Structure formats: C-alpha cells, structure tokens
Amino acid sequence: MAIVKKNFKDVTTTERAHYQKALSVLEKNQLDYGLELLKSLVQRNPGFMDARSRLRSIEQIKTSNMNGLAKFIAQLKSIPYVIKAQTIAGKQPLEAMKLAEEALALNLHQANVLKLLATVAKGQNATFISSEAIEIMMEMDPMNEGNLRTAATLYKELGDGHNLLKVWQRLAAKYPDNLEFQAQLREAAAMATMEQGRWDKEESAAEKAAAAAKNKNKDADIGDRIIRADDDIRDAILQMEAKVNAGDESIDMRRKLAELYMRAKRFEECIKAYEWIAQKMGTLDPTIDRCIEKAYVAIVDQNIEELKQNNAPEEQIEEQRQAIYNYRLERYEERVRLYPSDLLCRFELAEVLWEGKQVDRALEQFQLAQRNPSHRLHAMTYLGRCFHAKGQNDMAVEQFQKVVAEMPVMDADKMNTLYYMGITYEDIGDDKAALDCFKQIYSANVNYRDVSARMNAFYERQKAAKEAAAVN
C-alpha cells in the first residue's frame, strides 16, 4: 500500500485521539512518553505529517541533551534494529521503516539509519520521507563530504534538482579546485533550471498575481493589529491554522503564526512553523535559526523547572543546563561558519564562548565583532574582561579606558564598563583608581550591584590603616 501524506484532518478518529494524547503528554514535559506515543503512531501511519514533524522535534531535543557517551550507548542499542532492517528492506520495506524509527528514537543523529530510511522510503515512492531523512543527515554535519555525497545521490534519484544544487554548491565551495565537483555543480544547476521551468509553466504570471492578491485579502482580517490577551492569541492561532489547512502558503502569515505559537508556549509547533519557512525559502537564515533556537531552549527550560519542582538531584538539573549551553554553542558556531562576514553572529558566538569560560576563543571573536558599529563598545568592554580573566590587567585597563572615553553619558553600559575597570584596578592593588570608578557609578546609582559594599570596604581598610599608624 502506498504511503500517502496526511494531515490531522485526514487520519482516523483513533489516530487523532492518539496524537492528541501525545500532545497532552508533551505539554506536561513527559518527553520520553510523548516520544513513544508519537513513534508508534508514525510506525502505523508513516504519512501522518503532524505526528512525523512533532516526533522529529522531540527526537532532536532528546539527542541534543545527550552527551557523547550517551549517544554511543544509544547507537549500540540501535544495532539490532539496523541489522534486521537492512536484512528485510527488500522484501518488507514497511517493516524496515518501522525498525529505522526504533533506532532514530534512540539517537536521531545516525547517518547510516537516516540513509537507510531515505532509501527504503524512496522505493515506496514516499519522497517526502526520503527528503526529511536527507535533511536531518545534512544538518548533523553540514560539510561532511560522505553525507553530502549520499544526499546528492538520493536527491538525483528523487529528481529534486533544487536541493541537489544546494548540495553540490556546498561541496564545490569547500573544494573549489575539485573538477568533479565543479562538473556536478553545473549539471545540478541545469537540472534545477529545468525544474524551475516546469514550475513556471504550471500557471501564468497573471494567475500567480491573482493568487497572491487573494492570499493578501485572506490575511486582512488578522492584519497587523496588536494581539495581547491570551484569548486573542488563541483566536488568532485558530484563524491562521485554518488558512494553513486550507492550503495557504504565505511565508509572512506562517511567520506570524510561529510568533504566536511562541507566545502561547506551544514551542514544538513554533519550531515546526519556522522550519517550514526555512524549507520554503530554501535556506535557514540567522534570524529564523535564532527563533528556532529560542524555542528549543524554552522547551528545555520548562523541563528544568519541572525537575526543580520534583526536587530532582542537582546533577540532573545541571545536565539539562549543560545541554542547553552545548546546543546554543553548536548553533552559534554553525551561524558563523555559514555567515562568516556577519559580525552580529560573531558577537553572539563570543558571548556564548565567554559564558562557557572559553576565554581565548571568546577573545578572538570579540576582536572581530568590534568592527560592528552597533556592538563595538560592548565588544570592547568584553575584550577588557577577557584580558582581565587572562591576568593581563594592564591591557584590560587600557581597553576599559578606551571604552569609557567614548561614553559621554552615564548610562547602564558606561556603569558596566566602569565596574569591571574598578575590579581590575582592585586586583592590581590600585585602590585609589578603583575607588574613582566606583564613585562615578555610585553618584549615578547607589544600588548598582555591590558598588556600595566595595566602597564601604575601601573606607574600612583606610580607617584601619590610619588607626594602625596612630598606634605605631
């Protein structure tokens, strides 16, 4: 039986109830149970797209939270499923796909399993499942040559010229002198052009313009009005979801829906909406990537809060915090790799590296990020803090002095820089210079951090020194 794409409204009443139960479980942050429910649903009905998308999101979260040892153990547990799936793939493809789902539920980032799933699904004409597996495989390691070659082979067999072109663009950019890659790139470009030509013939420019105008009018009832109340958010989501189910593919409308999902704390659906936008645009730009990251972090934050409420061991909570940090660092490093000239991406990466106490790497990125006019002074202040952390206090003071000289107004940023300059002066034993920094802050905000306590400590030391001198 052919695998057909289905949405919520297309599946049976039993499957809808099963899916709703999974959502209810996930809302309570019972991720493992929710994953099992979604997995069994996808195994029974692999074309159920809502369930597939949600399953992949949860698997991604689970895998991102795993350390290296946990991933290795998960791969070992996957081996029996993979071997059996490879053995029966030719005669029992649907059963092989079920076994592949078992393996991916243990660890989503298994290239061999994703390749197996893509190949078997292609044989069943379920190209949407093949494409999904290929995309995950490439996201794991975007510049892995073996994965990219596998993706290129599968995309070519699927007749997907658009994605085939993107794969060879990556490989040709990585190896500009490789003649094979350059030839494959030209062939893929020709295939993508033919594919675009076929699309252009499907409807006239006038028909497209009419459709765009229709979509614009359909969105008029939502408009750009400010939505604040929970009921308004819920109503707006229902209205937009109805348009999506009716076939509306407006990127602007889907972006608004994603933002509303975020505000409603429906984070998995938020991620799904942004991923749809990225797929529609053909690229994952930094803005969308940041939104997806924010939603993923929010899911783990919810899990941490539940652990705290259940009085979970601190080590377990710390594991979740570390998982968030590792995920964020991975995303920021990837953005810098994809957009090396985007100085905002470099500044954000530098902040995360600083947060993780990777001072030398943070220093390098802050030095590059200071070329961004919008973040120049912030980056320079961080440079001073990096020098201070490395014990290079003279360089730290020079850096702080440069920043303060460019800040005529005593605002929060200037107080922040003066504070760290004062601490640096304290560390080198220049109490007078440190006190001058803290006095400037104190005169503007007496409650700023621990400035008042530091000043009092200075005066106490001064008083004690005078009393000691008098005794002598």
The 10s digit of each residue's pLDDT in 422-451 is 999 999 999 999 999 999 999 999 999 999
The answer to whether the beta carbons of residues 317 and 304 sit under 8 Å apart is: yes
436/455 Cα distance (integer angstroms): 10
| The pLDDT of residue 152 | 82
| The pLDDT of residue 234 | 85
Buried b (16+ CB within 10 A) or exposed e, 181-207: beebbeebeebbeebeeeeeeeeeeee
Output the CA–CA distances (angstroms, integers) from residue 284 to 64, 203, 281, 429, in the order listed: 19, 27, 8, 50
Would you put residue 204 in left (φ > 0), alpha (ψ -120 to 50) or beta?
beta
Domains of the chain: 8-202 (1.25.40.10)
| The pLDDT of residue 7 | 84
CA 459 from chain centre, in angstroms, equals: 49
**Residue 32, Cβ density class (10 Å: 0-12 exposed, 13-18 middle, ≥19 buried):** exposed
149/145 Cα distance (integer angstroms): 6
**Residue 38, Cβ density class (10 Å: 0-12 exposed, 13-18 middle, ≥19 buried):** buried
Q: Is the dihedral of CA 19, 24, 26, 32 positive or negative?
A: negative
370/380 Cα distance (integer angstroms): 6
463/457 Cα distance (integer angstroms): 10
pLDDT tens for 357-397 read 999 999 999 999 999 887 899 999 999 999 999 999 999 99
The encoded tokens of residue 215 equal 């979509």
| The pLDDT of residue 206 | 41
Counting every residue, how long is the chain? Answer: 472
| The pLDDT of residue 229 | 60
Sequence-distant (6+) residues with CB within 8 A of 15 are 41, 44, 45, 48, 51
Output the CA–CA distances (angstroms, integers) from residue 57 to 30, 104, 258, 272, 434, in the order listed: 14, 12, 15, 8, 50
Residue among 191, 179, 200 at smallest CA distance from 155? 191
Name residues of the chain where pLDDT drops below 50: 199-226
The encoded tokens of residue 36 equal 């099992």
422/110 Cα distance (integer angstroms): 51
